[in-house]
Structure 1
Amino acid sequence: MSISQIITIVVAIILISFILWWFFGKHKEQAGIAQVNNGVQEANIIVNGGYSPSTVIFKEGMPAEVNFDMKDSTACLSHIVFEQLGVDKDLTKKPVTTVKIPTDKPGEYNFACGMDMFHGKVIVK
């Protein structure tokens, strides 16, 4: 086996390992906790190649809003869809788009981009 074949095999193994880690590895991200301003819970999510944070937590019983701050003009991320809430908003119309979240009972509301490739959730507890 020549040196170029060995290098090719090593590089291929490294690339395959990286791809497996990227797609199947456990990536931990802490959930964002809402801040209370004038009696309304607010959470800010940065839209830039995904959602950061991808999970936000609200307390039950107090009005809540999620502010999506659009930093990425990718077509996929141009819409935010909360299927359970019947929300489909275009994020390109304003720098920050607000979605009101019902907090009358505990639960989880999943959201995704318009193509359902990037995901996140809002937890009310």
Structure 2
Amino acid sequence: MNILVNLAGLMLMALVVWWFWLSRRKTAAPSATHEATIIVEDGVYTPASIRANAGESLTLHFERRDPSPCAEQVIFQGLDTSEFLETGKTTTLTLNNLPAGTYRFTCQMQMYQGTLIVD
């Protein structure tokens, strides 16, 4: 009986790791934009990939629908930018003069994940 419980626990842990860190959600290649709305819900950012032009400003509207504490902050690695998101409200974040590169944006626990591609 202990073996079955341990196996079930290991399978559940593997599923959690796959869901949050290893799965790649299929999305169409985004086109460059100056403004985008991102829905924060059910453990994901939608859309999870945004493309912008280097040297230009990008305005992002984060609509937080998920009451999970993990969803309360978005952090842009490599841009030294973060913002707290209120539940049930839209928070606007403007990134000015973006340098070319690929930047991850995540929640503080890195369970919600997205990518900002600047060309």
Instruction: Tell me the TM-score normalized by structure 2.
Output: 0.70
Deviation at 1:96, TM superposition (A): 1.2
The runs of 5 or more residues in structure 2 that have no matched partner are 1-7
Q: Which runs of 5+ in 1 are unaligned?
A: 1-11, 36-40
How many residues are matched? 106
Report the structure number with the largest CA radius of gyration. Answer: 1
Structure 2 distance, partners of 1:28, 1:92, is: 28
> How far apart, in 1, do the equivalents of 2:98 and 2:64 lie?
28
SS in 2 for 1:85: coil
Find the partner of 2:71 among 60, 74, 77: 77
Q: Give aligned-pair identity as a percent.
A: 30
Query: Does residue 29 of the first structure (1) align with residue 23 of the second (2)?
Result: no
The residue number in structure 1 matching 2:55 is 61
1:22, distance to aligned residue in structure 2 (A)? 5.2
1:59/1:98 Cα in 2 relative to 1: closer, same or farther (>3 Å)? same
Equivalent in the alignment of 1:4: none
Q: Which has the higher contact order (CA 8 A, sep 6+)?
A: 2
Please give the alpha-carbon distance, in whole angstroms, between the structure 1 residues aligned to 2:57 and 2:96.
7
